[in-house]
A and B are shown apart, each in its own frame.
Chain A
Amino acid sequence: MEGVTQDILDRLIDELKKLPGIGRKTAQRLAFFLLKMSVEEARGLAQAIIDVKERLRFCRWCNNVSEEEVCRFCADPRRDRTRILVVEEPITLFAVERTGEYKGLYHVLLGALSPLDGRGPSDIKAQSLLERLKQGETKEVIIATNPTIEGEATAIYLTRLIKPTGVKVTRIAYGIPVGVDLEYADEVTLIKSLEGRRELT
């Protein structure tokens, strides 16, 4: 009997260790915490994990994670259908959505071009963006990929792809984060923020 309990607990610890940032000690602590949970709570957690894996899929239009075939942003008639904001990953979409300022549609690339890792155009969802533009509703594509070398390469590539369709392409601004001392900003960020300055009226 002793052996059996040990095995079950060990299995839980091993599974928890697969999560990012969780080592053996943390996994043990979490496992013993779960042991003390009520059965309902534990079931709730387990069910939530299963639901995420079994019931979530990618939206057929924008590749955002969604329970339905079309995600809630694409399905919402109140959203501005003339704008598409392009992001690398769904998690960025949630960050933008938290601001509550953007009312248009999204497009998730599910990756970025990376010349250093050999990830090319076929590894991102760029063609489906082009297909969406052919519907003719879009007036502006806002590229919100990360300001990293991968994100920049992706932005340049998308611009080349979209320009011939005549749709306006914009890139989110580069610059100084709000609430910091300028003296600590690095040179590249400062140069970019100077290039992207705008007139005050």
Chain B
Amino acid sequence: MSLFETEAIVLKTIRLGEADKLVTILTAKKGKVKAVAKGARRPRSRFGAALEPFTHCNVILFDKKPTVLMRMNQADILHPFIRIREDLERIGAAARMVQLASAILPEGEANPKIFSLLQAGLGKVERNDHLEWLVRVFEIRCLKHAGYQARLDHCLICHNELDAKPVYFSPKNGGTLCGSCARTISDPLEFVSSGTISLLRLAARMNWAGLFRLKATPKMLQEVKNVMDAHLTYVIGRPL
């Protein structure tokens, strides 16, 4: 039985009972948790707008016992990311980020790196216009911090350096295969050009400012999207 305070980002809320909300939040201290906010749907609720998706807030949670849902006692907004709500494309980008974080993290396991990544990512969605690239970078880093970083340095079967072309990405192996090894396996593969490989590598480690200066062609962005969609679908076990 304990009462604890933590920073959190709201991932999702669903209506519960007469006027309550069941809120899924990513907390800094205990990772993804679900908590009941009593009366949160009433106009004069003390939670106000703090439980809207994407909100970064400070919450006080009451953890009665492991078998019972946590109760949320208080939520104060730290940053509401209010501009996201004014644009459909921004809402879509932010929704993809919280969906991925929610799908990839198990409940009750703290992951400070993904917490900061999500916080930074939502901040960028609010102000930056390169939404597609932004979402891709988020996906690549989220997989990395969850322990599923793609291995892109050599062929995962013959361990040789990747020669110029052609190179394939194997979602099942979680990395690249050279052309000749790719022919030996029957799993679905994505073709990737060498430019896309470098883009994928940079996205995992470069700082945000540098990433937005990169000039990626629409074709490369499409390849990155294909690779990430396939990889995410494999890791999560369903299309996101």
Residues of A whose CB lies within 8 Å of any CB of B are 20-21, 115-116, 147-149, 152-153, 156-157, 160, 177, 180, 184-189, 191
Q: Digitize B86-101: 1 where CB-to-A-CB distance is under 8 Å, 0 elsewhere.
A: 1110011001001100
Pair A153/B44 contact, Cβ less than 8 Å: no
Segment among B45-53, B110-118, B161-169, B217-225 that sits at the interface with chain A: B45-53
Q: How far is the CA of A191 from the CA of B88 in the complex (A)?
A: 20
| Least distance between B199 CB and chain A CB atoms (Å) | 26
- Whether the Cβ atoms of B82 and A188 lie closer than 8 Å is yes
| Distance from B97 Cβ to chain A, minimum over Cβ atoms (Å) | 11
Per-position binary interface string of chain B over residues 68-99, scored 1 when its CB falls under 8 Å from any chain A CB and 0 otherwise: 00000000110010100111100110010011
| Distance, CA A114 to CA B231, complexed state (A) | 25
Whole-angstrom CA separation of A91 from B43 in the bound complex: 16
Cβ of B77 and Cβ of A186 under 8 Å apart? yes
User: A149 near B49 (CB under 8 angstroms)?
Assistant: no
Residues of A contacting B85 in the complex (Cβ-Cβ under 8 angstroms):
149, 152
A148 to B91, CA, bound (A): 12
Is B66 interfacial (CB 8 A cutoff)? no
Nearest CB of chain B from residue A151's CB, rounded to whole Å: 10
With a cutoff of 8 Å between Cβ atoms, the chain A residues found around residue B54 in the complex are 149
Which B1-55 residues sit within 8 Å CB-CB of chain A? 12, 17-18, 43-44, 46-50, 52-55
User: Is B48 a contact of A189 with CB atoms below 8 Å?
Assistant: yes
Instruction: Known pairs A115-B92, A156-B91, A185-B48; list 13 more (Cβ under 8 Å).
Output: A20-B18, A116-B95, A116-B99, A149-B91, A152-B86, A156-B87, A177-B44, A186-B47, A187-B80, A188-B49, A188-B50, A188-B55, A191-B80
Q: How far is the CB of B236 from chain A (nearest CB, A)?
A: 14
Complexed CA–CA distance, A156 and B85 (Å): 9
Complex CA distance for A59 and B68, rounded to whole angstroms: 43
> How many residue pairs, one in A and one in B, have C-beta atoms under 8 Å apart?
56
Q: How far is the CB of A192 from chain B (nearest CB, A)?
A: 8
Q: Which residues of B contact A147 (CB under 8 A)?
A: 49
Complex Cα distance A177/B12, Å?
A: 24
Contacts of B47 in A (CB 8 A): 186
Q: Are B95 and A188 in contact (CB under 8 A)?
A: no
Q: What would be 14 A-B contacts, judged by CB atoms less than 8 Å apart?
A: A20-B17, A115-B91, A149-B53, A152-B91, A153-B91, A156-B91, A180-B44, A185-B48, A186-B76, A187-B77, A188-B48, A188-B49, A188-B77, A191-B80
A177 touches B43 (CB 8 A): yes
Q: With A21-B17, A116-B12, A149-B53 given, is the CB distance from A186 to B48 under 8 Å?
A: yes
What is the minimal beta-carbon distance from B125 to any residue of chain A, in angstroms? 12
Q: Which residue of A lies closest to B47 (CB)?
A: A186
A187–B55 Cα distance when bound, in Å, is 11
| A34 vs chain B, min Cβ distance (A) | 22
B148 to chain A, nearest CB (A): 23
Give chain A residues whose Cβ lies under 8 Å from the Cβ of B88: 153, 156-157, 160
- What chain B residues lie within 8 Å of A187 (beta carbons)? 49, 77, 80
User: What CA separation (Å) do A109 and B53 show in the bound complex?
Assistant: 22
Q: A185–B87 Cα gap in the complex (Å)? A: 24
Q: Chain A contacts of B12 at CB under 8 A?
A: 116
Instruction: Give Cα distance in the complex from A76 to B17, angstroms.
Output: 35
4 closest A-B pairs (Cβ-Cβ)? A186-B48, A188-B49, A115-B95, A188-B80
Chain A, residue nearest B88 (CB): A156
